[in-house]
Amino acid sequence: MEDVAREAGVSRALVSLVMRGRSNVSEERRRRVQDAAARLGYRPNAMARSLASQRTRTVGVILDDLANPFFAEIAGGIEQFAAEVGYQLLLGAGGRQARRERSALATLLEYRVDGIILVSPRMPISDIAAAASEAPLVIVGRSVRRPDADCVLINETHGTELVLHHLVELGHTEIVHVDGGSGAGGPQRRAAYLRGMRARRLGARSRVIPGDFTEEAGLDAAQQLLRDGELPTAVFAANDLVAAGLLSGLDRAGVEVPGEVSIVGYDNIGIAHLGHVSLTTVDQPRAEMGALALELLLDRIDNHRPSAFRLIEPTLVVRSTSAPPRTG
Protein backbone atom coordinates (compact mmCIF):
# COMPACT_ATOMS: atom_id res chain seq x y z
CA MET A 1 0.00 0.00 0.00
CA GLU A 2 2.92 2.33 0.70
CA ASP A 3 4.15 1.82 -2.87
CA VAL A 4 0.69 2.48 -4.34
CA ALA A 5 0.26 5.59 -2.19
CA ARG A 6 3.63 6.95 -3.33
CA GLU A 7 2.88 6.17 -6.99
CA ALA A 8 -0.54 7.83 -6.83
CA GLY A 9 0.60 10.78 -4.71
CA VAL A 10 -1.93 10.11 -1.94
CA SER A 11 -1.87 8.88 1.64
CA ARG A 12 -1.74 5.22 2.64
CA ALA A 13 -5.04 5.70 4.47
CA LEU A 14 -6.73 6.79 1.23
CA VAL A 15 -5.38 3.71 -0.58
CA SER A 16 -6.90 1.60 2.19
CA LEU A 17 -10.28 3.31 1.73
CA VAL A 18 -10.22 2.65 -2.02
CA MET A 19 -9.23 -1.00 -1.60
CA ARG A 20 -12.07 -1.52 0.87
CA GLY A 21 -14.55 -0.01 -1.58
CA ARG A 22 -15.53 2.92 0.66
CA SER A 23 -17.76 5.55 -0.92
CA ASN A 24 -16.25 8.64 0.73
CA VAL A 25 -13.49 9.00 -1.88
CA SER A 26 -13.67 11.27 -4.92
CA GLU A 27 -13.78 9.57 -8.31
CA GLU A 28 -10.61 11.35 -9.43
CA ARG A 29 -8.57 10.10 -6.45
CA ARG A 30 -10.12 6.64 -6.66
CA ARG A 31 -9.04 6.41 -10.31
CA ARG A 32 -5.50 7.55 -9.47
CA VAL A 33 -5.18 4.84 -6.82
CA GLN A 34 -6.63 2.15 -9.08
CA ASP A 35 -4.37 3.13 -11.97
CA ALA A 36 -1.31 3.12 -9.70
CA ALA A 37 -2.28 -0.31 -8.31
CA ALA A 38 -2.68 -1.65 -11.85
CA ARG A 39 0.73 -0.32 -12.93
CA LEU A 40 2.42 -1.87 -9.89
CA GLY A 41 0.49 -5.15 -10.07
CA TYR A 42 -0.79 -4.61 -6.53
CA ARG A 43 -3.31 -7.08 -5.09
CA PRO A 44 -4.71 -6.67 -1.54
CA ASN A 45 -3.39 -9.27 0.92
CA ALA A 46 -6.45 -11.02 2.37
CA MET A 47 -4.41 -12.72 5.10
CA ALA A 48 -2.94 -9.44 6.26
CA ARG A 49 -6.36 -7.80 6.29
CA SER A 50 -7.84 -10.67 8.29
CA LEU A 51 -5.07 -10.35 10.89
CA ALA A 52 -5.81 -6.64 11.25
CA SER A 53 -9.61 -6.97 11.36
CA GLN A 54 -9.87 -10.38 13.09
CA ARG A 55 -12.18 -11.35 10.20
CA THR A 56 -11.47 -13.48 7.15
CA ARG A 57 -14.78 -12.56 5.47
CA THR A 58 -15.14 -16.21 4.55
CA VAL A 59 -17.90 -18.61 5.55
CA GLY A 60 -17.61 -22.38 5.54
CA VAL A 61 -20.49 -24.45 4.13
CA ILE A 62 -20.74 -28.24 4.47
CA LEU A 63 -23.33 -29.94 2.26
CA ASP A 64 -24.66 -33.43 2.89
CA ASP A 65 -24.41 -34.64 -0.71
CA LEU A 66 -23.10 -32.84 -3.80
CA ALA A 67 -24.86 -35.37 -6.04
CA ASN A 68 -28.24 -34.07 -4.86
CA PRO A 69 -29.20 -30.80 -6.62
CA PHE A 70 -31.22 -29.79 -3.54
CA PHE A 71 -28.00 -29.01 -1.69
CA ALA A 72 -26.42 -27.22 -4.64
CA GLU A 73 -29.51 -24.99 -4.85
CA ILE A 74 -29.25 -24.12 -1.14
CA ALA A 75 -25.55 -23.35 -1.65
CA GLY A 76 -26.55 -21.11 -4.57
CA GLY A 77 -28.77 -19.09 -2.25
CA ILE A 78 -25.92 -18.75 0.25
CA GLU A 79 -23.44 -17.73 -2.44
CA GLN A 80 -25.72 -15.11 -3.98
CA PHE A 81 -26.26 -13.37 -0.65
CA ALA A 82 -22.57 -13.76 0.25
CA ALA A 83 -21.59 -11.95 -2.96
CA GLU A 84 -23.94 -9.10 -2.08
CA VAL A 85 -22.35 -8.58 1.34
CA GLY A 86 -18.74 -9.16 0.34
CA TYR A 87 -18.17 -12.65 1.73
CA GLN A 88 -16.53 -15.69 0.12
CA LEU A 89 -17.52 -19.32 0.62
CA LEU A 90 -15.40 -22.37 1.32
CA LEU A 91 -17.43 -25.46 0.42
CA GLY A 92 -17.12 -28.98 1.77
CA ALA A 93 -19.25 -32.09 1.33
CA GLY A 94 -19.95 -35.05 3.57
CA GLY A 95 -21.04 -37.53 0.92
CA ARG A 96 -23.81 -38.69 3.28
CA GLN A 97 -21.16 -39.83 5.78
CA ALA A 98 -20.62 -38.39 9.26
CA ARG A 99 -16.90 -39.27 9.09
CA ARG A 100 -16.37 -37.14 5.99
CA GLU A 101 -18.38 -34.30 7.51
CA ARG A 102 -16.10 -34.27 10.54
CA SER A 103 -13.05 -34.10 8.28
CA ALA A 104 -14.50 -31.22 6.24
CA LEU A 105 -15.46 -29.41 9.44
CA ALA A 106 -11.95 -29.71 10.86
CA THR A 107 -10.49 -28.26 7.65
CA LEU A 108 -12.84 -25.27 7.70
CA LEU A 109 -11.98 -24.53 11.32
CA GLU A 110 -8.27 -24.67 10.45
CA TYR A 111 -8.88 -21.98 7.80
CA ARG A 112 -10.35 -19.74 10.51
CA VAL A 113 -13.61 -19.07 8.69
CA ASP A 114 -15.82 -16.47 10.38
CA GLY A 115 -18.67 -18.97 10.72
CA ILE A 116 -20.02 -22.27 9.43
CA ILE A 117 -23.30 -23.40 7.86
CA LEU A 118 -24.10 -27.12 8.09
CA VAL A 119 -26.71 -28.26 5.56
CA SER A 120 -28.52 -31.45 6.68
CA PRO A 121 -25.58 -32.74 8.74
CA ARG A 122 -25.39 -36.41 9.72
CA MET A 123 -22.67 -36.09 12.35
CA PRO A 124 -23.55 -36.65 16.03
CA ILE A 125 -24.74 -33.81 18.24
CA SER A 126 -21.44 -33.97 20.14
CA ASP A 127 -19.50 -33.02 17.00
CA ILE A 128 -21.92 -30.18 16.23
CA ALA A 129 -21.61 -28.90 19.80
CA ALA A 130 -17.81 -28.96 19.59
CA ALA A 131 -17.91 -26.95 16.36
CA ALA A 132 -20.34 -24.41 17.85
CA SER A 133 -17.88 -23.81 20.68
CA GLU A 134 -15.20 -22.82 18.15
CA ALA A 135 -17.13 -20.81 15.53
CA PRO A 136 -20.58 -19.28 14.99
CA LEU A 137 -22.83 -21.99 13.57
CA VAL A 138 -26.12 -22.29 11.65
CA ILE A 139 -27.76 -25.62 10.80
CA VAL A 140 -30.12 -26.05 7.85
CA GLY A 141 -32.56 -28.94 7.60
CA ARG A 142 -31.94 -30.59 10.97
CA SER A 143 -33.29 -29.58 14.35
CA VAL A 144 -30.49 -29.12 16.87
CA ARG A 145 -31.57 -27.32 20.02
CA ARG A 146 -28.49 -25.52 21.29
CA PRO A 147 -28.05 -22.03 22.76
CA ASP A 148 -24.97 -21.43 20.59
CA ALA A 149 -26.37 -22.40 17.17
CA ASP A 150 -29.24 -21.29 14.92
CA CYS A 151 -31.54 -23.53 12.86
CA VAL A 152 -33.39 -23.10 9.56
CA LEU A 153 -36.01 -25.81 9.11
CA ILE A 154 -38.86 -26.80 6.85
CA ASN A 155 -42.13 -27.76 8.54
CA GLU A 156 -41.91 -31.44 7.61
CA THR A 157 -45.27 -32.29 9.18
CA HIS A 158 -47.02 -29.66 7.08
CA GLY A 159 -45.19 -30.77 3.92
CA THR A 160 -46.21 -34.39 4.45
CA GLU A 161 -49.78 -33.36 5.25
CA LEU A 162 -49.93 -31.51 1.93
CA VAL A 163 -48.98 -34.72 0.13
CA LEU A 164 -51.48 -36.92 1.96
CA HIS A 165 -54.29 -34.39 1.63
CA HIS A 166 -53.68 -34.13 -2.10
CA LEU A 167 -53.60 -37.89 -2.66
CA VAL A 168 -56.59 -38.67 -0.46
CA GLU A 169 -58.59 -35.89 -2.09
CA LEU A 170 -57.86 -37.55 -5.43
CA GLY A 171 -59.30 -40.79 -4.00
CA HIS A 172 -56.16 -42.72 -3.05
CA THR A 173 -56.16 -44.99 0.00
CA GLU A 174 -53.28 -47.33 -0.91
CA ILE A 175 -50.40 -44.91 -0.36
CA VAL A 176 -46.85 -46.24 0.15
CA HIS A 177 -44.00 -44.14 1.49
CA VAL A 178 -40.39 -44.67 0.36
CA ASP A 179 -38.43 -43.04 3.15
CA GLY A 180 -35.12 -41.18 3.28
CA GLY A 181 -33.42 -43.37 5.85
CA SER A 182 -31.59 -41.57 8.62
CA GLY A 183 -30.78 -38.46 6.56
CA ALA A 184 -32.00 -35.10 7.87
CA GLY A 185 -35.75 -34.86 7.28
CA GLY A 186 -36.15 -38.59 6.60
CA PRO A 187 -37.37 -39.70 10.04
CA GLN A 188 -39.62 -36.63 10.33
CA ARG A 189 -41.36 -37.29 7.00
CA ARG A 190 -41.74 -40.98 7.82
CA ALA A 191 -43.29 -40.22 11.22
CA ALA A 192 -45.59 -37.57 9.72
CA TYR A 193 -46.72 -40.04 7.04
CA LEU A 194 -47.62 -42.68 9.63
CA ARG A 195 -49.45 -40.13 11.80
CA GLY A 196 -51.28 -38.74 8.80
CA MET A 197 -52.41 -42.17 7.63
CA ARG A 198 -53.70 -43.02 11.10
CA ALA A 199 -55.52 -39.69 11.33
CA ARG A 200 -57.31 -40.55 8.08
CA ARG A 201 -58.17 -44.03 9.35
CA LEU A 202 -55.80 -45.53 6.84
CA GLY A 203 -53.24 -46.73 9.37
CA ALA A 204 -53.81 -50.39 8.52
CA ARG A 205 -52.87 -49.61 4.92
CA SER A 206 -49.66 -47.78 5.81
CA ARG A 207 -46.46 -49.13 4.35
CA VAL A 208 -42.95 -47.76 4.54
CA ILE A 209 -40.21 -49.02 2.22
CA PRO A 210 -36.79 -48.21 3.73
CA GLY A 211 -34.66 -46.09 1.44
CA ASP A 212 -32.29 -43.14 1.25
CA PHE A 213 -32.29 -39.75 -0.44
CA THR A 214 -30.96 -41.17 -3.73
CA GLU A 215 -32.23 -42.16 -7.16
CA GLU A 216 -30.91 -45.68 -6.54
CA ALA A 217 -33.20 -46.00 -3.52
CA GLY A 218 -36.15 -45.13 -5.78
CA LEU A 219 -35.11 -47.74 -8.33
CA ASP A 220 -34.81 -50.37 -5.60
CA ALA A 221 -38.23 -49.43 -4.22
CA ALA A 222 -39.77 -49.75 -7.69
CA GLN A 223 -38.31 -53.25 -8.02
CA GLN A 224 -39.66 -54.20 -4.61
CA LEU A 225 -43.14 -52.95 -5.47
CA LEU A 226 -43.07 -54.82 -8.78
CA ARG A 227 -42.00 -58.06 -7.07
CA ASP A 228 -44.95 -57.77 -4.69
CA GLY A 229 -47.30 -58.26 -7.61
CA GLU A 230 -49.91 -55.74 -6.46
CA LEU A 231 -48.99 -52.09 -6.88
CA PRO A 232 -50.31 -49.34 -4.60
CA THR A 233 -52.25 -46.57 -6.31
CA ALA A 234 -49.85 -43.89 -5.03
CA VAL A 235 -46.31 -43.51 -3.71
CA PHE A 236 -44.99 -40.66 -1.57
CA ALA A 237 -41.24 -40.43 -2.20
CA ALA A 238 -38.89 -39.01 0.43
CA ASN A 239 -37.42 -36.60 -2.11
CA ASP A 240 -37.36 -35.86 -5.83
CA LEU A 241 -34.36 -38.10 -6.52
CA VAL A 242 -36.23 -41.05 -5.00
CA ALA A 243 -39.25 -40.07 -7.11
CA ALA A 244 -37.06 -39.98 -10.23
CA GLY A 245 -35.80 -43.48 -9.48
CA LEU A 246 -39.37 -44.70 -9.01
CA LEU A 247 -40.45 -43.13 -12.29
CA SER A 248 -37.57 -44.77 -14.13
CA GLY A 249 -38.09 -48.20 -12.57
CA LEU A 250 -41.83 -48.24 -13.17
CA ASP A 251 -41.44 -46.92 -16.72
CA ARG A 252 -39.04 -49.76 -17.59
CA ALA A 253 -41.69 -52.22 -16.41
CA GLY A 254 -44.39 -50.55 -18.50
CA VAL A 255 -46.29 -49.16 -15.51
CA GLU A 256 -48.14 -45.95 -16.38
CA VAL A 257 -47.68 -42.89 -14.17
CA PRO A 258 -50.11 -41.53 -13.12
CA GLY A 259 -52.51 -43.94 -14.85
CA GLU A 260 -51.63 -46.92 -12.65
CA VAL A 261 -49.54 -45.30 -9.90
CA SER A 262 -49.36 -41.67 -8.83
CA ILE A 263 -46.02 -40.40 -7.52
CA VAL A 264 -45.35 -37.35 -5.34
CA GLY A 265 -41.85 -36.16 -4.49
CA TYR A 266 -40.34 -33.66 -2.06
CA ASP A 267 -37.99 -30.67 -2.65
CA ASN A 268 -39.00 -29.33 -6.10
CA ILE A 269 -35.46 -29.44 -7.46
CA GLY A 270 -34.73 -28.60 -11.09
CA ILE A 271 -35.50 -32.03 -12.52
CA ALA A 272 -39.09 -31.84 -11.18
CA HIS A 273 -39.77 -29.00 -13.66
CA LEU A 274 -38.57 -30.90 -16.73
CA GLY A 275 -41.33 -31.57 -19.23
CA HIS A 276 -40.80 -35.34 -19.42
CA VAL A 277 -40.78 -35.58 -15.60
CA SER A 278 -43.36 -32.94 -14.56
CA LEU A 279 -43.31 -34.17 -10.97
CA THR A 280 -45.90 -33.30 -8.36
CA THR A 281 -43.78 -32.37 -5.35
CA VAL A 282 -43.43 -30.38 -2.15
CA ASP A 283 -41.54 -27.15 -2.72
CA GLN A 284 -38.79 -26.20 -0.30
CA PRO A 285 -37.56 -22.68 -1.15
CA ARG A 286 -33.92 -23.67 -1.39
CA ALA A 287 -32.37 -20.31 -2.29
CA GLU A 288 -34.41 -18.57 0.40
CA MET A 289 -33.27 -21.14 2.97
CA GLY A 290 -29.64 -20.58 2.03
CA ALA A 291 -29.88 -16.80 2.16
CA LEU A 292 -31.69 -16.94 5.51
CA ALA A 293 -29.00 -19.23 6.93
CA LEU A 294 -26.25 -16.78 5.97
CA GLU A 295 -28.26 -13.84 7.30
CA LEU A 296 -28.59 -15.59 10.66
CA LEU A 297 -24.90 -16.52 10.64
CA LEU A 298 -23.71 -12.95 9.99
CA ASP A 299 -26.00 -11.70 12.74
CA ARG A 300 -24.60 -14.35 15.09
CA ILE A 301 -21.05 -13.31 14.17
CA ASP A 302 -21.78 -9.66 14.99
CA ASN A 303 -24.06 -10.12 18.00
CA HIS A 304 -23.98 -12.36 21.03
CA ARG A 305 -27.63 -13.40 21.28
CA PRO A 306 -29.85 -16.39 22.07
CA SER A 307 -30.26 -19.03 19.41
CA ALA A 308 -32.76 -18.41 16.60
CA PHE A 309 -35.12 -21.01 15.16
CA ARG A 310 -36.70 -20.33 11.76
CA LEU A 311 -39.46 -22.64 10.50
CA ILE A 312 -40.38 -22.29 6.81
CA GLU A 313 -43.72 -23.48 5.47
CA PRO A 314 -43.50 -25.55 2.28
CA THR A 315 -46.06 -25.59 -0.52
CA LEU A 316 -47.32 -28.28 -2.88
CA VAL A 317 -46.71 -27.98 -6.61
CA VAL A 318 -49.15 -30.17 -8.56
CA ARG A 319 -47.92 -31.39 -11.93
CA SER A 320 -48.50 -34.47 -14.10
CA THR A 321 -47.47 -37.43 -11.91
CA SER A 322 -50.57 -37.43 -9.68
CA ALA A 323 -54.15 -38.16 -10.70
CA PRO A 324 -57.22 -40.01 -9.35
CA PRO A 325 -56.75 -43.79 -9.11
CA ARG A 326 -57.95 -45.80 -12.04
CA THR A 327 -61.23 -47.56 -11.32
CA GLY A 328 -62.41 -50.92 -12.57
pLDDT of residue 21: 66
Domain-embedded: residue 326: no
d(CA 144, CA 178): 25
Residue 207's SS3 state is: strand
The total of structural domains in the chain comes to 3
- Do 78 and 102 share a domain, yes or no? yes
125-132 helix and 98-110 helix, angle to the nearest 10 degrees: 10
**Parallel, antiparallel, or unpaired for β 280-283 and 315-317?**
antiparallel
Run of H or E including 235: strand 234-237
Residue 251 near residue 226, CB atoms below 8 Å: no
Q: What are the Cα distances from residue 144, in Å, to 148, 171, 192, 305? A: 10, 37, 19, 17
- Do 234 and 272 share a domain, yes or no? yes
- Do 101 and 183 share a domain, yes or no? no
- Do 73 and 166 share a domain, yes or no? no
- Do 238 and 194 share a domain, yes or no? yes
Domain-embedded: residue 321: no
**Structural domain span for residue 110:** 56-155+286-313
Please report, in tens digits, the pLDDT of each residue of the chain (328 residues total). Answer: 788 888 888 888 787 777 766 667 888 888 888 888 888 877 765 555 544 545 678 999 999 888 888 899 999 999 999 988 889 999 999 888 889 999 999 999 888 899 999 999 989 999 999 998 889 999 998 888 888 899 999 999 999 999 999 999 999 999 999 999 888 889 999 999 999 999 999 999 999 999 999 999 999 999 999 998 889 999 999 999 999 999 999 999 999 999 999 999 999 998 898 888 999 999 999 999 999 999 999 999 888 778 889 999 999 999 999 999 987 5
pLDDT of residue 53: 47
Eight-state DSSP code of residue 325: P
- Do 191 and 280 share a domain, yes or no? yes
- Do 228 and 258 share a domain, yes or no? yes
pLDDT of residue 8: 84
Domain-embedded: residue 235: yes
Closest CA to 216 of 63, 68, 62: 68
Closest CA to 260 of 273, 250, 275: 250
pLDDT of residue 51: 45
- Do 191 and 97 share a domain, yes or no? no
- Do 9 and 92 share a domain, yes or no? no
Domain-embedded: residue 323: no
Domain-embedded: residue 299: yes
List the CATH number of the domain containing 219: 3.40.50.2300
What pTM value is reported for the model?
A: 0.79
pLDDT of residue 182: 85
